[in-house]
Amino acid sequence: MASWGTLANDALSGLLSYPYQLFYPALAIAITMLSFNLLGDGLRDALDPRLRKG
């Protein structure tokens, strides 16, 4: 079964010949993790009662 981690791991063996095979799965993983991090920060800012002024 293909996943981004599997694709990135398989691309390590041909890194010097085909660097794009590692670039795209690694970029997808990085963008997904950044999105989850920003979503978590936004939810914390919106829902944390200690951060509200008033």
Q: Over the stretch 3-54, which tens digit does the pLDDT of each residue have?
A: 888 988 889 888 888 888 889 999 999 999 999 999 999 999 888 878 776 5
Q: Which of 4, 3, 51 is nearest to 31 (CA)?
A: 4
What local confidence, expressed as pLDDT, does residue 52 receive? 72
Residue 10 DSSP label: H
Sign of the CA dihedral with 31 first, then 26, 24, and 29 last: negative
Q: What is the pTM of this model?
A: 0.74
